[in-house]
Amino acid sequence: MNGGKISAAWLNIQKNINQINRNFMSNLLTTSIGKKFIMSLTGIFLMLFILVHLSLNLLLIFDDSGALFNQGAHFMETYPVVKIVELVLGLGFLVHILWSLVISYRNWKARPVTYARKDRQPSSTWSSRNMLILGALILVFLGIHLANFFWVIKFDSHSLVEVPAGGDTVKDVYTLVSGLFKQSIPYSMLYIVGAILLGLHLTHGFWSAFQTLGLGSSKWMIRLRWVAWIYAFIVAVGFSSIPLYFIFKF
């Protein structure tokens, strides 16, 4: 008898847990808070990727032979774990864009037209009020960037010469990337503008992501805002320094 009661109780517990999980996933995908939570997680993941991408790109200016950058690009292209992360990154980026559009549209529909003009809190920054515009401009820049580099490396690799690097034979991605910066001042300037726009986007996106995850106290917010500005500055200056290096040196 006791065994039957325990089994029935355990089944009820499992049923409740399953219901909680279903409710959680439903709320996560349908409610405004759930969408912001997903945006925060994908945003943090993208910010980590930006640091990795910046670290790899800075190899362009630390070795004019191109060997270091070619080895790094070869590793990123062939290492199995990186391939999986690349797919997750693409999915995370799409989700981040989609959720930002949905949230912005709902916020716009939920408030009067005059709200955007009259409500200017002292703590509100230009970046925080124009995150969607910044995101759209960054998306345009990213499309141009991918067309010039990612598409060639992934789908037109036969156009790249293979060179020795670190005992291996790898694609000469260095010549592709550095060549565009050397030969095209307009693209170099566009790259710098893209880096600045990304930095502005991150000044708000960085601390906002952590605030959504629960670090919303005044003490934490002060720290996160400072870290956000430092992080955004490093990203903007780091990426901008690459085309500037090739413009002034070559």
> Residue 87: what pLDDT?
81
For 67-122, the DSSP string reads: HHHHHHHHHHHH-HHHHHHHHHHHHHHHHHHHHHHHHHHHHHHHS-TTHHHH---T
pTM: 0.77
pLDDT band at 80 (very low <50, low <70, confident <90, very high): confident
What average pLDDT score do residues 150-169 get? 81
98-127: pLDDT as tens digits? 767 777 666 666 665 544 444 455 456 777
Hey, what amino acid is at 21? N
Is residue 246 scored above 90 in pLDDT? Answer: yes
pLDDT band at 229 (very low <50, low <70, confident <90, very high): very high
Is residue 95 scored above 90 in pLDDT? Answer: no
What average pLDDT score do residues 50-63 get? 92
What is the Cα–Cα distance from 65 to 163, expressed in whole angstroms?
11
